Structure 1
Amino acid sequence: MIIETSRMLLRPVERDDIDDLVRLDSDPLVMRFVSSGDATPRSTIEDWVVPRAQTELRTGRGGMWTVIDRRYGAFLGWVSLRAPRHSSRPELELSYRLRREYWGRGLATEAARIVTDRAFTDLAAQRLFASATSTHTASRRVMEKLGMRVCGIHVGDEYDPHGFGEVEYDLLREDWQRRNAVWPSSTDLTA
């Protein structure tokens, strides 16, 4: 499934995206809240990230979409939905990552809103959740703009491997439906 808005194109991740994904995850500022700035090894992206995302997309349990600038064709980053392995509930985890030169333009919110709508319409999720370190205010703001609410704080446990404190947000299907009664859907974003 390819989704277009006036500013971006979201398409399922492909093996051809590996170089862009490696470059993205090699930026210490992009990775500072993910891995304290450490790059994701290329082998992890090739052997685990891309194959898992493609499998999730094929099985209807999520997926990863590359975010492409519609005007110039530039790789901006990615957004994903992933079924947690530890849960049998109909829930998905939302994640996103953008190249730093595109921060602060509302692109993460726009891309996240698109896949949030997909989670509840096409993938039958009852709950969507996401987390960020307590100090990552920009990422937390994206979640809040989606209508997500704080549902947990993790300090010094397996969810907080770097000692920053993790804040978990969630959005329930009923809350998403209420939000959509007043907000335009992501498909209304195309001009």
Structure 2
Amino acid sequence: MQRTTERLILRPPTRDDVASLFAIYGDPATHQFNPFGPLTQLDQAQSLLDGWLAHWEEKGYGQWAICTCEFPDEVIGFGGLDARRYGDVLRLNLGYRFGPKAWGKGFATELSQAALAFGFVELRVPEVYAVVRPLHHASIRVLEKVGMQRIDTLDDVPGQAPSLVYRSMRPA
């Protein structure tokens, strides 16, 4: 289920995306706020991709591979909606990660708006959540820019400050 925004192509990932996934998720710059650090081996990227493909197979949606309309064959990031555990609760989660060359161009906001619209209009879910590390100010700004509101914290990383939990509700 491919989607297009003003500047982005959002498409289901394929097995051929493993090298792009490893390049983005293996880059230390993309993990500045992730206490678990970047991927270090290609098989880790393959495992992550396999999980995304299984989510797509089971649910019919998930993390998109993100390209620009200008360069449709170059993956600049991954993001979208998927089912995630928040402690003991399963929630629909908005997440994304872009390679550094794509930062500062509004792509995360554009992707987030498209993902929320997809969730509310097509999936007809009542709410979408996001988790962000407390010092990741750029992502916090994106979540707030797309109308998400901070509602809670989640102690999800042992020995670290709790993550911030944001929520967006389907418009009435």
- One-letter code of the match for 2:162? G
SS at match of 2:62: strand
Alignment partners' CA distance in 1, 2:40 and 2:82: 18
Matched position secondary structure for 2:53:
helix
Structure 2 residue 99 is matched with structure 1 residue 102: no
| Conserved 8 A contact 1:61-1:82 | no
The 3 A distance-change label for structure 1 pair 124 and 58 is farther
More helix by share: 1
Distance 1:43 1:6, change over 3 A: same
TM alignment of 1:17-166, pairs within 5 A: 17-35=17-35, 37-39=37-39, 41-47=41-47, 49-60=48-59, 62-73=61-72, 74-85=74-85, 86-87=88-89, 91-154=91-154, 157=155, 159-161=156-158, 163-166=160-163
1:9 to partner: Cα distance: 0.6
SS in 1 for 2:34: helix
For structure 2, list consecutive stretches of 5 or more residues without a partner in the other structure: none
Whole-angstrom CA distance in 1 between matches of 2:115 and 2:165: 18
Higher deviation after alignment, 27-36 or 103-112: 27-36
Aligned-residue identity in percent = 28
Cα distance in structure 2, aligned partners of 1:167 and 1:4: 29
Partner of 1:168: 165
Offset at residue 83 of structure 1 (A): 1.2
What amino acid sits opposite 1:5 in the alignment? T
User: How far off is 1:44 after superposition?
Assistant: 2.6
1:112 and 1:44 map into 2 onto residues whose CA distance is 25
Instruction: Show structure 1 runs of 4+ deviating over 4 A.
Output: none
Residue 26 of structure 1 aligns with an amino acid whose one-letter code is G
Question: CA shift at 1:164, angstroms?
Answer: 4.0
| CA-CA distance at 1:50 after TM superposition | 1.8
Q: What's the RMSD between the two structures over aligned residues?
A: 1.9
TM-score normalised to structure 2 length: 0.88
TM-score, length-scaled by structure 1: 0.80
Q: Deviations over 1:20-41 (max 9, x none)?
A: 0001012111012123543254
Q: Which has the higher strand share?
A: 2
CA 1:62–1:162: 2 relative to 1, 3 Å: farther
Describe the SS at the equivalent of 1:59: helix
Conservation of the 8 A alpha-carbon contact between 1:13 and 1:66: yes
The DSSP-based 3-state class of the residue aligned with 1:33 is: coil
